[in-house]
Structure 1
């Protein structure tokens, strides 16, 4: 420390005592000072307000909740509109082929026409079988949508049906038909000749089968009945889907290569996984490509890679999910001419076939390109047409 005299003696030499230091304001303090000027008209509100500008004007909690709900609905409408907007045309030579290959049939009872077509499947020969429910028949088309033949009429006898809801090819070539109102599953030979019947306690709605010839039958009462195609008798029954809700409500099912049953429950919007003993292995809520967009679970099928194709009947799209339920991509959208899809199936050649119907709308079958197929390597054929009828010698 330097006293007064020492300071006086060294002052002529240019040496002085340092003055007391004053703290320099940092950026945070400067920001707060400026913030007081900016927010001075906001009723002494805190300096730093991170809320949305619109929310700052809402002091009532109910008003704030109303704004959040309105904002969420607006975002949902925007996301739905994006599904229906077509993208800009790409440069010449870079446009990919359209996914829709063929649209088959109209609402009616003529050959290759449909009235509430529900179930659909593809055979090992890449041909298509359709459960034409309200026409009480099963129609047979080839992979190009050409009508080949049909079987069935209204009744309870052999090869007669009462609202068949699903059709399935068993690995040995036989055909199983879910005869809903007759409460049975009819098994037909490859040429549609009757073989045997399996009585079901309930109304069968959806069918699935694994490589071991185990057939799963889902009823409208949310029960799954198992029978083996070799024996033709039920050996196990268990309940699926949501618990504590309505006992009625049809579910869609599919089976993986590991004999696991995938259940799409539209009532609670979940997708469940069961083994053939009825043990629930897990479930997930299907997510959409846009956060906050609701998904209405519909028809379901499994790809050869074990991934899950799920129909979103609310937004008219088909989404692809992993085995654990992770959203992978949108496969079909309304811009691909996807309408009110009920059920779908994959063919070995790379086609995706789907049934569509709505009250007062289209009742048809559509064939889409799922992956590159050898039968449509070139230009995509005309998609919207009435299907021709094959000659009797075909």
Structure 2
């Protein structure tokens, strides 16, 4: 007879009860037991410990999983240090030439120095124009990084700027400057003299142009305005990037000669391709150069072959992709002395020019060897900490 209410089984010679139930051990308990067997030299924790179990698991190095975690982090840190270490001498005949040609400027307001250089471009004469944002000016350097002249100061008048964020040479030689806080695009002559300005309904942040003089202006609110520099009239206006996002991270754009607008949205990590009328015909998420890494897309630009250069600001890497987003190769890596890259431009002579700045780091311009160039066929020159200043006769 079985009494289902009391769970006792009654037999003629007495009664028995069900054996007590024992719970299954958790993974943490199994780890602890195995850890005491594997690491026998490590003593058990004291009998009395008032800390919470979570604190015991994550702070006590005598625990098995905590030791494994700390050991793994140590090995990861050591592997990263070895990756950045360039002291080891390579085998004779296998050393590749350094890609860094020049490091230009320091944080400051002197000629050739920079404070938040947010935008730059290369001209048809292979010179370099830099939008020196917090110095409220545009600086002009030659292809070797020698300072030539600058234009601008803080203000609202002609040839005056308020945080210029980008600069671009137009096909006719004019210079367009994204004058952010003044909400306009100033167009200068090739001698950096004022020509005209175009008001923008927003704060312009990035610029692009095609062979037909159609200028694309990306604002901090993820909008693109298109105007023609010949007619000086606004043609199109459309939003870009991910919908429903905040305006905390401005987009950066580039434009091909065929009027394709390349857009990098760092908020959602995607790269878009738009037509001049605002139709998105391609979108891809940049693939990392190594498995398991995340990519935060920064500035973008087209190469002469129609490929796409994308700055990976998270890993301090610049990669090359096809026009449909397929990863091709790395161009620059941290061992090439790449820092916090904000913008990049590819010169006709084969130089890759980038601007770098960070809150506690350098504000500078770096010139890298992208392909073999006639101006540096011999030995690679050493990088410079200060920008050389040209003589008045140059």
TM over 0.5: yes
Identify the TM-score tier after normalising by the shorter chain.
0.7 to 0.9
Summarize deviations over 1:92-125 as a string: whole Å, max 9, x none. Answer: 2332210000000000000000000010000000
Deviation at 1:80, TM superposition (A): 5.8
1:302 matched residue in structure 2: 302
Tell me if 1:109 matches 2:148: no
In 2, Cα distance between the equivalents of 1:251 and 1:121? 17
Distance across 2 between alignment mates of 1:82 and 1:165: 37
Q: CA deviation at 1:88?
A: 5.1
Is structure 2 residue 276 aligned with structure 1 residue 272? no
Partner of 1:292: 292
Judge conservation of contact 1:76–1:292 (CA < 8 Å) in 2.
no
Task: Please give the residue correspondences for 1:138-153 in structure 2 after superposition, counting only pairs within 5 Å.
Answer: 138-153=138-153
Structure 2 counterpart of 1:24: none
Please say if residues 340 and 357 of structure 1, whose CA atoms lie closer than 8 Å, have aligned partners that are also in contact: yes
2:220 counterpart of 1:229: no
Any residues of structure 2 matched to 1:310-325 within 5 Å, and which?
A: 310-325=310-325
The Cα of 1:83 is off from its aligned counterpart by: 5.2
TM-score normalized by structure 2? 0.79
Structure 2 Cα separation of the partners of residues 248 and 358 of structure 1: 17
CA-CA distance at 1:387 after TM superposition = 1.9
Q: What are the superposed Cα offsets for residues 11-48 of structure 1, whole Å, 9 maximum, x if unpaired?
A: xxxxxxxxxxxxxxxxxxxxxxxxxxxxxxxxxxxxxx
Match of 1:84 in 2: 84
| 1:222/1:248 contact within 8 Å kept | no
What is the TM-score with the length of structure 1 in the denominator? 0.79
- Alignment partner of 1:391: what SS? coil
Query: Residue 137 of structure 1 aligns with which residue?
Result: 137
Structure 1 outlier segments of 4+, above 6 Å? 73-79
Question: Partner of 2:240 in structure 1?
Answer: 240
SS at match of 1:121: strand
Contact 1:107 1:363 in 2 (8 A): yes
Deviations 1:66-96 (A, max 9, x none): 99xx89x979979866753549533223322
Counterpart CA distance in 1 for 2:275 and 2:82 is 38
- Runs of 5+ consecutive residues of structure 1 not aligned to the other structure: 1-53, 58-65
Larger Rg belongs to = 1
Unaligned stretches of 5+ in structure 2? Answer: 1-30, 35-64
Matches within 5 A, 1:1-394: 84-86=84-86, 89-394=89-394
Distance 1:236 1:76 in 2: 50
Deviation at 1:171, TM superposition (A): 0.3
Partner of 2:3: none
For residues 82 and 204 of structure 1, what CA distance do their matches in structure 2 show?
42
Deviation at 1:247, TM superposition (A): 4.0
Provide the aligned length of Structure 1 versus Structure 2: 328
| 8 A contact 1:257–1:306 mirrored in 2 | no
In structure 2, relative to structure 1, the CA distance for the partners of 1:214 and 1:246 (3 Å cut) is same
**Aligned residues of 1:312 and 1:318 also touching (Cα < 8 A):** yes
Query: Retained in 2: the 8 A contact 1:108–1:115?
Result: yes
SS of the residue 1:335 aligns to: helix
Rounded Cα–Cα distance in structure 2 between residues aligned with 1:294 and 1:80: 16
Over 3 Å counting, the alpha-carbon distance change for 1:83 and 1:93 in structure 2 is closer
Distance in 2, Cα, partners of 1:77 & 1:260: 42
Q: Distance in 2 between matches of 1:338 and 1:276?
A: 33
CA distance in 2, matches of 1:349, 1:316: 24
Alpha carbons of structure 1 residues 87 and 270: separation in structure 2 relative to 1, 3 Å: farther
Q: List per-residue Cα deviations over 1:236-294 (Å, max 9, x = no partner).
A: 10110111221443101011232111100000000011001000011111111111201
Instruction: Pick closer, same or farther for the CA change 1:90–1:177 going to 2, 3 Å.
Output: same
Task: State the Cα deviation string for residues 326-353 of structure 1 (Å, max 9, x = none).
Answer: 1111111111010000000000000000
